[in-house]
Amino acid sequence: MKNRPILRNHQDGLVTVAALLFLIVLTIMGTSAISTSNMEVQIATNDEIHKMTFYAADGGADLGTELVELNVACPTGFASDDLDIGEINIVDSDFWLQQTGTKKPSDTDRDVRIGNDTGNHTNLSIFGQTAFGIGGAIEMAAAYEGRGKAAASGGVTLNYEIYSQHQGFANSESIIALHWQHVVGSEGACQY
């Protein structure tokens, strides 16, 4: 009887090596996926901070319109500079009389501050010009034409520019510009 030689391909360790190579490829793919996830989390966080800052500045501009109406109601402005009304600090008491101002309010150049200087806060700069309203060219004090027709009955408007700067988390900043028109004769009583 002849002995037949058993042919060996010497492939006993191939499965182990192939499994290790497969695990290395999976590790590299997992690492890149984690890096991508971290980047997406950072992008989402920055987007959230930007939106919070933007909407806070927008809210400050909205509040600025109400402050203009309250300030116009007082012929000489509010009672005093540095007037605190809750979280609002009125830096300049007669900002409704200002014809020029800064288009970029800051901690050193502002008319109103909303919030605390040490944290997130909003700065407002408010100024404007007097103009005749559209169709309000009757300059005598007639007033029988109705509100908004003659100068005596609201034909004059005060056109204001309200700039709202909010300084938020992580040194984020947004500035909103708003045009506001006040019809003279529609203001209420002076409250502050």
User: Does residue 18 sit within a domain?
Assistant: no
User: Does residue 189 sit within a domain?
Assistant: no
- pLDDT, tens digit, 9 for 90 and up, residues 77-131: 888 888 888 888 888 888 888 888 778 888 888 889 998 878 899 999 998 887 7
User: Does residue 73 sit within a domain?
Assistant: yes
Query: Domains in the chain: how many in total?
Result: 1
Which structural domain range is residue 117 located in? 26-183
- pLDDT, tens digit, 9 for 90 and up, residues 49-64: 999 999 999 999 999 9
> CA-to-CA distance for 190 and 98, rounded, in angstroms?
18
User: Does residue 60 sit within a domain?
Assistant: yes
